[in-house]
Structure 1
Amino acid sequence: MQTPIIQFGTSRFLQAHALAYFQTGTPLGDAPAVTVVQSTSDPTRRSRLDALSAQGGYPVHVRGLENGQPVDREERVGVVRRGLGYDGDYAELERIFVQEARWIISNTADRGFDPQPADDLPSPDPAQSYPAKLFYLMRARHLAGGGPLVVLPTELVPGNGDKLRARVRDMAVAQGFDPAFLDAHIWANSLVDRIVSEEIRPAGAVAEPYGLWAIEAQPGLVLPVIHPAIQIVPDLEPVQRLKLHILNLGHSTLIDLWLRAGQQETYVREAISGPLRKALLDIMETEVLPGFALCGMGDQARDYLAVTLERLDNPFLDHRLSDIAQNHASKVDHRITAFLAWAGLSPDQAPKLHAISQSAKDIAP
């Protein structure tokens, strides 16, 4: 049993994103086969790990709107051939990494790249950060004469491939190992997007129909499948701007409207189907889209806004407004204030967005 794809992380997001796309995509060669690695020592997740590789696969329940039509279907994902725990199965993991791997996938949360005290240890340890774990496995592969890998981090970190490579290089230097061998690998920057609203136990997830895995092109980049949601793009910057300054900005603008209106609704789908919709659309049409047009992205922004509104209208999605409202001031700074600066919009050109930005500054701690 060969598994050329190794995935670090068992999150419901990866279950309904990368693994689901490997299942439904068109293979470029052999059918995808995956080893999933539980990189933490959490014993409560062992049942999930076992269920991911169970015969018959696990369910992904896709619910929402697609091209204006309701979608409510189940997909079975059966590409996972093994589940390993980093702490209990390290010898087998190293063997697979050295002998079988071609692609490395990861989603280790927003802080997964952060250094940990255990990174200073001279050998692999479950308490180490993901870059430290990856260094020891890559070193073993290098010493065994293994070829280059395609490394595909999906963590929501700008320039995630570059940052992961830099952290692994830091580990190599700290351990007295020449980091030059890391340059043979492909370290891909990517951006992922799909709302995965619920888990299904012991494995599986509920997700919206929309999904995106945008990967920045570079020489030597080869993927295991072709899939409509997987896009190879020359530059991630436009994709990041669309997501940050339409979808995410729209969420934070909706929260501002919701807070000022008295917080009557519980879910996004309720707010977007009520009186707040007109106010949100007015801001998007009169301030956000013109800002994108000034930056040469008017048509892209209008198309992306249409898709975003369909996602917000999802009648099945219990997306709590109170969850989006957490850290509201910080989100406004990254989503709205940064948009105004990027597009060069003055208070006269975008009065409502400037008012939201100033209001968030006033309430920030």
Structure 2
Amino acid sequence: MSLPLSQATIVQFGTSRFLLGHVAAFAGAALAEGRSSEAVLVVQTSARPEGKVKAAALARQNSYPLQIKGLRGGRPVEEQISINCIAGCMIAQDEWGQLTQHFIDTAQWVVSNTGDSGYQVADDSSLAAVPTSFPGKLTKLLRARFLAGKAGLTLLPCELISRNGEVLKEIVIKLAQQDYQDASFIAWLDAECCWANTLVDRIVSASIEPVGAVAEPYSLWAIQQTPGLEMPFTHDAIDLVDSLRPYELRKLHILNLAHTFLVDQWRQQHLKYSVAYVREAMREPKLRDILSNAMNNEVLPVLAKELPEMDLEGYWQSTLERFENPYLNHRLEDIANYHCDKLERRVMPIVQMAKLYSVPTPLLSEALQRGGVLRQ
């Protein structure tokens, strides 16, 4: 049964498989279980032909399949769920007037995942008939809502940017100052809208045609408590937290660091032609054993000092299970891109912290030396 647009209080910018396998999936679960009545309007923000095809499919069928594939408690999981929370899908370029009216009349929450360059504005302006950038579109829509005398919105960005809510707010306010010179609008954006920082953690590994997604069992949406924050739904994967910093550090220095350390050892042990995927690396004792050694004797002891309240061991065990996922083809060659930069962001801070806590880090230090990040 189709949901009415009047129920679509959540406006989702982006048709990415990640949002379909993460936030929209949570909204669908809450709706199906009677814990929410909030539906989703999906907005295709770019003019890419493939995006328009997906948007058309969403608009036509209002639901999509989500396959959950991976390990849970050491056992293989292969499930398919129908996500039935989509009330409609609009292409911003083609349906701007209708989108604006919905934003004024119905929207209460905004969710986005617009990719690595999603916050770039360049020479865009919210005064354009249809701005090209996501911040430009958002500023223009918020301006229309403000002029209509409506209350502010809650914004829950999911881009992989530290302080994503604060960063998006700064960009929108800068655009508003540039385009409107209206102090009351700026004050409304600042005080009446709730800009929450969030952190997402789930591998959504593939798309299903014409629309759908394949995701691992693990999922987390950590959202920083912010004055005025009200969530559209509850879900077991949602954590409302006082600070995202411990969650960011845990993810960066356990999951991401482990990926980068694996690449270092994969190269060092000359396994490029016999091991292609992370799941294969987990079955290679020479790789798994040295990774476990580095994590258990160097990384976790340091993080235990830095993040004493976090369940580091539990997160590491869930990370191992995610790495072992038999359905996920996560190529080590892909993880190896920008290896030196990743060493500097993911590994170097642990080695620096370790000095403060007198924890030896021979394996991590050798990886940094091989990458040219740390001199002998």
TM-score (norm 2): 0.92
Amino acid at match of 2:13: F
Residue 123, structure 1, aligned to residue 121, structure 2: no
Q: Distance in 2 between matches of 1:29 and 1:139?
A: 32
Deviates more, 1:249-258 or 1:29-38: 29-38
Shift of 1:132: 1.4
Shift of 1:339: 2.4
Q: Which amino acid aligns with 1:181?
A: W
Q: Which residue of 1 aligns with 2:171?
A: 167
2:282 is aligned with 1:287: no
Give the alignment's Cα RMSD to 1 decimal.
Answer: 1.9
Secondary structure, aligned partner of 1:25: helix
Q: How does 1:265-276 map to 2 (within 5 A)?
A: 265-275=275-285, 276=287
8 Å CA contact 2:302–2:354 kept in 1: the answer is yes
Cα 1:363–1:218 shift into 2, 3 Å: closer
How far apart, CA to CA, are the structure 2 residues paired with 1:279 and 1:318? 22
Q: How does 1:34-53 map to 2 (within 5 A)?
A: 34-53=40-59
**Does structure 2 retain, via aligned residues, the 8 Å contact 1:292–1:298?**
no
Match of 1:224 in 2: 232
1:54 deviates by 3.6
Count matched residues: 362
Q: Which runs of 5+ in 2 are unaligned?
A: none
Which residue of 2 is the match for residue 303 of structure 1? Answer: 314
Residue type at the aligned position of 1:23: G
Question: In the alignment, which of 318, 330, 336 is matched to residue 319 of structure 1?
Answer: 330
Aligned to 1:357: 368
Match of 1:103 in 2: 109
Deviation at 1:69, TM superposition (A): 1.6
Cα distance in 2 between the residues matched to 1:266 and 1:124: 48
Matched, 1:203 2:211: yes
Identity %: 39
Which amino acid is 1:270 matched to? Answer: E
Partners of 1:56 and 1:190 lie apart in 2 by: 27
Instruction: Tell me: CA distance 1:355–1:145, structure 2 relative to 1, closer, same or farther (3 Å).
Output: same
1:78-97 counterparts in 2 under 5 A? 78-97=84-103
Task: Write the distance in 1 (CA, Å) between the matches of 2:209 and 2:288.
Answer: 35
Superposed CA offset, 1:161-208 (max 9, x none) = 000000000001101232111021110000001111111111011110
| Superposed counterparts of 1:142-157, under 5 Å | 142-157=146-161
**What amino acid does structure 2 have at the position aligned with 1:45?**
G
The residue type paired with residue 22 of structure 1 is A
Inter-partner Cα distance in structure 2 for 1:62 and 1:285: 29
* Matched letter for residue 367 of structure 2: I
Partner AA of 2:212 in structure 1: G
Distance 1:330 1:350 in 2: 19
Distance 1:219 1:118, change over 3 A: closer
Deviation at 1:265, TM superposition (A): 0.3
- 1:239 corresponds to: 247
Deviation at 1:345, TM superposition (A): 5.5
Which whole-Å deviations, capped at 9, do the CAs of 1:134-183 have from their partners, x for residues lacking one? 11100100010111211000000000000000000000110123211102
Amino acid at match of 1:55: Q
CA distance in 2, matches of 1:251, 1:298: 24
CA deviations 1:41-62 (Å, max 9, x no partner) are: 1133222112224436111110
Deviation digits for residues 333-352 of structure 1 (CA, Å, limit 9, x no counterpart)? 11001222345468971011
In 1: Cα distance, 2:52 partner to 2:258 partner: 38
Whether 1:182 aligns to 2:189 is: yes
Q: What is the match of residue 139 of structure 1? A: 143
In terms of mean alpha carbon deviation, does 130-139 or 45-54 score higher? Answer: 45-54
Amino acid at match of 2:284: G
Q: 1:69 maps to which residue?
A: 75
Letter of the 1:32 counterpart: E
Distance 1:280 1:252, change over 3 A: same
